[in-house]
Structure 1
Amino acid sequence: MKAEIINQPYSGEFEERIYDVESVWNSQSWTWIKFTDENGIEKVGQFRGFPKDVKVSKQKNEILVLTSDCAFRLDSLELNIIESEKQADYGNLEITPNGTFILSEYSDIYKLENSLSDMQIIKSPFEMDMVEFKRWNGNILEFECTEITNYERNEMMELNTTNWTIKIKKTTPQHRV
């Protein structure tokens, strides 16, 4: 299964389904995700909130859709909601090479194990803020952040998804010529 954020499609262009969570805090924004299965069949989901990200875990047969209003966890076979969380402040979404979803709020990084309501916080060597995922290097996710009590401290960090530890990335000093 593939999933991608698209612009609002023309009516009738795809088989469509609306995904919403009732709340007085809902925005008027919507996100459209096009799902394409292994046979090339395309369907579109309309999700409450401004688009943030979408990732597919082939290993778990799950999809995680992140909008400004909600996080939606779907099964990738029937595209049914497994669970949702409203007013989620997640800024980053990634998926490990083994299919585990990783999310971040402004100051914490979470591993999605069993449910959105029971995610595991990954401990950091210092209190982080403004976490921004950058790139994968094997099983290591590199990300940037600042220290909460010292906003002048900006660090490149590494999240090892084998042992679920975070450390400051060692940089090689530049030699002057």
Structure 2
Amino acid sequence: MIIQAEIISQPYSGEYTERIYDNESAWNSQSWAFIKFVEEDYYEWCGQFRGFPKQVAISTPKKIVLVLTSDYLYQLDIETGNLTELEDQPQYQNLTVAPNGDFILADYYNFEKVTTNIKQKISIESSIQMDMIEFKNWQKSKLEFTCDEFVNWDRHLTMTYDSETNKIEIKNAT
């Protein structure tokens, strides 16, 4: 079972056992992301994913690993490392995992929640239109993030998303 994952630079040949996760497409970039995985017996291996690396997150309760690159959003099985789902050309800029194991994704404007499968996302509504969303950190069940109000870019906001209530609230504005 995968217990740790981190983005690394391209490893030396033979440094790790490597698995290549690729999908044939005319739209593929020339970039590759390298993710070092650590299993519960501390065995290390490297996954090579098509696209520039963005983020990786593990949900032990859901038994899922998500890898976000510029080209794809990959869903892996936590036990085997096998690819279970793939989404091409994702617009997501942020990826994190909530304390309850749900994944939270955001593009520049919207939030979505993944509970069991990347093909079945739940949209998370906000009281304002957001732009330039950037995740910061978790404080218990609340994710703090910053954004600008859409069409009012002088209004910079610090906001929270509560993973228990599924609500987004303004913390402060400047």
Letter in 1 for 2:10: Q
Q: CA deviation at 1:148?
A: 1.1
Letter in 2 for 1:113: T
Partner of 1:5: 7
Q: CA deviation at 1:115?
A: 2.5
Partner of 2:22: 20
Check whether the contact 1:51–1:67 (CA below 8 A) recurs between aligned residues. Answer: yes
Partner of 2:96: 94
User: 2-side partners of 1:129 and 1:3: how far apart?
Assistant: 29
Letter in 2 for 1:81: L
Q: CA deviation at 1:117?
A: 2.7
Check whether the contact 2:157–2:172 (CA below 8 A) recurs between aligned residues. Answer: no
Check whether the contact 2:21–2:49 (CA below 8 A) recurs between aligned residues. Answer: yes
Partner of 1:166: 168
Partner of 1:146: 148
Letter in 2 for 1:32: F
Deviations 1:118-157 (A, max 9, x none): 2111100111110001111110001111111211111111
Partner SS state of residue 116, structure 1: coil
Deviations 1:152-175 (A, max 9, x none): 11111110000100011158xxxx
- Aligned alpha-carbon RMSD (Å): 1.1
Tell which structure's C-alpha radius of gyration is larger. 1
Check whether the contact 2:141–2:164 (CA below 8 A) recurs between aligned residues. Answer: yes
Partner SS state of residue 117, structure 1: coil
Deviations 1:73-105 (A, max 9, x none): 101111001101011011001100111110100
Correspondence 1:71 to 2:73: yes
For structure 1, the residue ranges without an aligned partner over 5 or more in a row are 172-177
For structure 2, the residue ranges without an aligned partner over 5 or more in a row are none
TM-score, L = length of structure 2? 0.95
**How many pairs are equivalent?**
171
Identical aligned residues as a percent: 48
Letter in 1 for 2:80: E
Structure with the higher strand share, 1 or 2 = 2
Letter in 1 for 2:97: I
TM-score, L = length of structure 1? 0.93
Deviations 1:13-59 (A, max 9, x none): 21111001221111000011111111111111000001101111111
User: 2-side partners of 1:115 and 1:13: how far apart?
Assistant: 32
Partner of 1:83: 85
Letter in 2 for 1:52: K
Deviations 1:60-81 (A, max 9, x none): 1111001011110101111001
Correspondence 1:38 to 2:5: no
Check whether the contact 1:74–1:81 (CA below 8 A) recurs between aligned residues. Answer: yes
Partner of 1:174: none
Letter in 2 for 1:148: F
